[in-house]
Structure formats: structure tokens, C-alpha cells
Structure 1
């Protein structure tokens, strides 16, 4: 297979191109790279294929699964509903789900669920490991909560941290119960449409049903090996959001320029709840050094199957790096590339 071809749309960051092109050649990176500050994109380039069978090339408008960045989207939506007075972060969830297990319901809150400090065991992932067909289950949210989010707590809520997708089954049940709307329509109405994101939304089942979606591959060379891991509707908050690089750039700029949440709720979204893990609500905030200075950084990484998506945004001055890949790329190498590009954005 020939080397991927780059299609730069903007190139105000000359050192970015000098970093990216050798990386693509040496590492066989197949994906999209974007660097900017504020609302301005300084560098954008796409490399390789969205669909090996047809030869369709990737672009900055190609949608990718965003993996666990979906949790950050879910937290944004919850805080929009908090802003409207429909939800509260620190009320017991029995207030919203009176039929839920009473002992857990009295202890758990939305803040604890969205910071993975609830103690709720990761029963859904355990079920998928036992039987991968669980990904194809078609059950309503109440049944999903009963099966996969109603176990005995591993620890007293708020005293420890455990990454558990089951938390997000409960958050979805709460959001839909309170608003009387399905989650997909809420994301579209509160996030996608207001920000004019053109290639973003939610999916259930296989993401390949989404028009223009980048196909996922275990690898492309010497032959393409497809990799598709469906995500059931009841796990939509944990991993059912998709977006293009252009749309993710619009999202982070819209969020941190105040077009989605009040300044106070944006601060709450990014405030670290679990310091050892840098975990806030649905995502992480880290302090990293770029341009000779320490910066607080919204640090989000998502993966599912072959998809890898990384989004960094400095919270003090708005420098942004977005990386997207659809060939099971090494996430540590993506982190190294992201750090090099963020540093380059300050030159």
C-alpha cells in the first residue's frame, strides 16, 4: 500500500507540518490532525483512508467514533440541565429514579456517577467480556440499569475511584426520566444544533450506519482488516457520540468561549474531583508545560475498537490539538504527537 497523502487545509503553523509529516511516514499514521488557538485553526491535515474498500479519503469533516469523549459530552448535557434547574449534581439519585435500588439510590449523586467515585461496579464491561453479544442487546434503559447498574457498591461513595461504564447507564436513565426525551434528541438539541456541528451526533449499534463514517481497521497493511465494535443504545453516554475534527474544534471553542454553559458551570465541569486520576466530570484536567509555562489542560481521550481520538485544550489561553485515527493506533504515540504539536503551537 502506498503512503498516505496529506491534504492540508490550513498551514499557519509551519513547525506543525514539519512534525506531522515525518511522523505519518515513520509510524504509518492514518487519520486527521488539527491545531489551533481560540476560534482559529492554524494547521489541519488528513492522511489516508476512511474506507479502504472504496478508496475514500479522510478529511477534517469525516466523522469518527469518539469513544469515552462521549462521557464528556454527557457531562456537558447534564450541566446544561443543571443550569436550567432540571437537575442537581448533589441530590440523591432516588429523587429522580424512585424505583431504583433504595440503599444505593440514597447514597449516589450525579456528581459521584460522572466522576467515577460512586463505587458502582463495572458490571456492563464484565458482561461484555463474558459475552460480546451483549453489545447487540436491544433492551430499554430501565432493564439495562436493572441488569448492569444495580449491584452492591465496591466502596463507600466518594471515598475512592473506579472507572465504571455502569455509572453512565444510570445518568442516561436520569436524564431521560427527568426531561421525558431520548438522549439522542437532547444532544442534538442542546449541543449539536446550537453549535452548528455538521458531522456529529449519537449512534447505537454499528457506527458504520452513520453517513460518511470513517471505517475502523485493526490494520491497513498489507491488507485491510475491518474492526467494528457496536455500542448498544443503553451505553450511548459511555461511548455513543461521533464527531469530525472540525466539529470537535467547534465544540471546545464553543464550550470555553461561553456559548454552552455559564462560567461557573464550565468551571465545575473542568474542576478535578479525583486528584490522583486528574478526573473531573466526564473528562480530565491536567497541568502540562508548553511554551515555557504551566497550563491547565482539558485532556480528553477516547477509543472504541479501532478508533482513537485525542482532544487537548489549554484552559488559560485556548490552544487546541485534535488527533483522530481509525487504525488501532498506539495511544501513547498519539499522546507524544499531541504534546509535540501543542508545544509547536506556541512558537
Structure 2
């Protein structure tokens, strides 16, 4: 019996040693992040990993200033425009299954859409912001913030905010237009007969075992486990919320945690959602001046003394800032999440230092 107890003790000790070694693979990451957090009063979570392995993760500050609930690696954050990348992953899954084509005219899927432009637009031009569809939805929100509180079906949302005259011929230029995603939502739900949240759950969350991810509408504070958004925490907490209307969920309605984001990055590029060919097509740059692919960006960064291709995902909405980078060849990843309107340039600088440190 004593031998068995000692065996269990040594096995537990061995597991602890290996656990600490795994967390120490990025030896400089803790010092980099902790200095940054102290100097900049950063409130959020930082994670560095390779493949599915977490090499370093640390949380700073509070998810809820009123209750003092701390941020953890499982705290949920709005992801802003990373939502567009998630939508593109869903589209590519349906392309892989033969239910959609990136180059079929939108009129094929939405016969009631205006004929002159519906025959020119494709999912490829919509997902790459090269459609020419004017950004009427942002203009409408700017003129009347109560537009954020509307609930509209796809036909009405598209008619109001995504049916303007094209600003340029599809594929000839680039314009970051949220109106594109209203059309994509209409296509997805028309072709599949399922709601967009159900598609994300079925094609992304369940296959990858994501526990703290999904789609929300309205005020994200209503989602259990979500970080609250703040314009700042000093000298007092200033709440900040920008509700997402139901017709904008593809453009900004996705939430996730740092742990889930790593699972998503690893699962996507390890073939658990898309085939290697479809994942490569998802990340292939179509608008070089913007490094823009389908719903996200691919950039070349100098890391570990060589240029590496990086899935470069960044999103913001209201107080939330989320960055998720992954080197495409060897899976080095860095994830930074914030809920206090932090300077996005400083977040990018931190991520660059952490990703470089992961190669040392």
C-alpha cells in the first residue's frame, strides 16, 4: 500500500514537472507580458502556444469591475471583426460540401436580390471586401444609433442596407463594407435552411470542442461568463457597450475565450474543420495592398530570423480588442484579449514581441 502511495506521489510530481516545463517553453513571455501589463495598466489575457499546446498564459485585471470577477483564460470576449473570419470558415465548409460556390453569382442563391448587381456579385468578392457594395449599414448607424436595436429579417436588412449601387465593379477594388455580411448571412440561411448561430455551432464549435464560444446579438453582457466592456477603469469604471443587431452578427457577433481561440486556430489548420486545400484558399491573399484574404488577413512577419506567413486576425467592437495570430507553417500562436478600449497598436507591438520570443 505504501509503495502504491509513493508511486502515485512520484507520478504526480513527474506530471507537475512536465506541466511546468510545457508552460516554460516561451521563457521570455512572462517577463514581456508582465512588464507590459504593469507599464500600460493592461486589463485582459495573454496566451502564447504552439499547435494545441499552451506555452504561456496569464490574465490581468477584472472581467467585471462591479463584482471584481477576475479575467481568466476561459473568460469570454467579443471578437469584433474576427467574426467575419468565422463566417468565412462556415462558407468554406459549405463550399467543401458542394452546397455553395465562391464564384457563383449571388443571384443564384438570392433570386429576389436586385438583378443588375446580383449577377455580378459572388461570395468571393463579398468575403474579400472587393464587391463594391457600399457600406450603407455603417452610415445608417452613424446617422441613427437606434439602428443597433433593430431586429430585421434577411430580406429587409439586405433591402435597407445592402442594395445600393455598386461603388466599383466587383473584384477591381477594395472597401471594408459591413454591408457585404448582410448578403452573406442571407445566402447561408437561405441555402441551408438553418440559422447562422446553428451553423457556427455545427461547423465550428462542436467539431472543435469549443466551450466558451458562440454567436450573440444585442448587448454581449447578457452572455454568461462574458467580460464587461469599459471605456476605462480609472479613475472609475466607465461601462461601454455597442450592441450587435441580429442582421450584423456575421460582421461582429462572435465571442470566444483565449483557450477556445487556441483550439480554433489549431483545429482549423490541423484539418478538423476544413481540408488543407480549403484552409489554404481561405487564407490566400486576394487584395495584396490590404493583405486581405477571405474574412481575414495573411501577413508576412520576420520571426526567428526568417519571414513567416501568419494568419493575422484582429477585431474590435466598443471596448473589446482581440488579436489572434498563428504562423501557418509551424503553428506558433499568440492571442491577446482586452475589454478596456486599449490602444490596438500597443496590442500589436506586444503580440509581435511575444511571437518573436516563442522562437527563442
Same fold judged by TM-score > 0.5? yes
- 1:207 maps onto 2:226 in alignment: no
Q: Give the alignment partner of residue 141 of structure 2, picking from 101, 106, 128.
A: 128
Whether the 8 Å CA contact 1:311–1:323 is kept in 2: the answer is yes
CA contact (8 A) 2:229 2:318 kept: yes
1:17-60 Cα shifts (integer Å, max 9, x gaps): 11011100110100000001111110000000000000000000
Task: Name the SS of the counterpart of 2:58 in structure 1.
Answer: strand
Matched residue, 1:48: 61
Q: How far is the alpha carbon of 1:11 from its aligned partner?
A: 4.0
Do the aligned partners of 1:137 and 1:232 also contact (CA within 8 Å) in 2?
yes
- Match of residue 211, structure 2, among 194, 198, 202: 198
Deviation at 1:202, TM superposition (A): 0.2
1:295 to 271, 294, 308: 308
Question: Cα deviations across residues 267-306 of structure 1 (Å, max 9, x unaligned)?
Answer: 1000001000000000000011000010000000000000
| Aligned equivalent of 1:89 | 102
Determine whether 1:313 maps to 2:326.
yes
Whole-Å separation in 1 of the counterparts to 2:155 and 2:221:
27
CA deviation after TM superposition for structure 1 residue 159, in Å: 0.5
Distance 2:195 2:33 in 1: 41
Aligned residue number for residue 284 of structure 2: 271
Deviation per residue, 1:302-344 (Å, 9 max, x gap): 0000000001000011100000000000000000000000000
Asked whether the equivalents of residues 321 and 338 of structure 2 are also in contact (C-alpha less than 8 Å), the reply is yes
- Structure 2 counterpart of 1:158, from 139, 147, 171: 171
CA distance in 2, matches of 1:157, 1:89: 13
Question: For residues 318 and 122 of structure 1, what CA distance do their matches in structure 2 show?
Answer: 35
Distance (whole Å) between structure 2 residues aligned to residue 121 and residue 55 of structure 1: 43
Among 27, 34, 49, the alignment partner of 1:36 is 49
Q: Are 2:248 and 1:235 aligned?
A: yes
Residue in 2 aligned with 1:182?
Answer: 195
| Deviation of the 1:141 alpha carbon | 1.2
Whether the 8 Å CA contact 2:25–2:358 is kept in 1: the answer is no
Please, which of 74, 86, 103 is the counterpart of residue 61 of structure 1? Answer: 74
State the 1:12 CA deviation.
3.3
2:25, 2:101 → 1: CA distance?
43
Distance 1:236 1:217, change over 3 A: same
Answer yes or no: is the 8 Å Cα contact 1:11–1:44 preserved in 2: no
For residue 134 of structure 1, report the CA deviation from its aligned partner: 0.5
Alignment of 1:92-171 (within 5 A): 92-171=105-184
| Stretches of structure 1 lacking an aligned partner (at least 5 in a row) | 1-7
Superimposed CA distance per residue, residues 192-216 of structure 1 (whole angstroms, 9 cap, x where no aligned partner): 0111100000001111111010000
2:352 is aligned to: 339
In structure 1, the residue matched to 2:6 is none
Name the CA distance, whole Å, in 1 between partners of 2:300 and 2:349.
16
What are structure 2's unaligned runs of at least 5 residues? 1-19
Q: Structure 1 residue 139: deviation in Å?
A: 1.2
For the pair shown, the structure with the greater C-alpha radius of gyration is 2
Partner of residue 245, structure 1 = 258
SS at match of 2:100: coil
Match of 1:70 among 76, 83, 86: 83
Q: Once the two structures are superposed, what CA deviation does each residue of 1:178-233 show, in whole Å capped at 9, x if it has no partner?
A: 00010001101110011110000000111111101000000001100000110001
TM, length-normalised to structure 1: 0.97
Alpha-carbon distance in structure 2 between the residues aligned to 1:265 and 1:194: 16
Q: After TM superposition, which residue ranges in structure 1, 4 or more long, deviate above 4 angstroms?
A: none
For 1:122 and 1:262, how far apart are their aligned partners in 2?
32
Higher helix proportion: 2
Following the alignment from structure 2 to structure 1, what is the Cα–Cα distance between the partners of residues 25 and 46? 14
How many residues are matched?
340
How many Å separate the matches in 1 of 2:106 and 2:112?
Answer: 10
Distance of 2:323 and 2:302 partners within structure 1: 18
Matched residue, 1:5: none
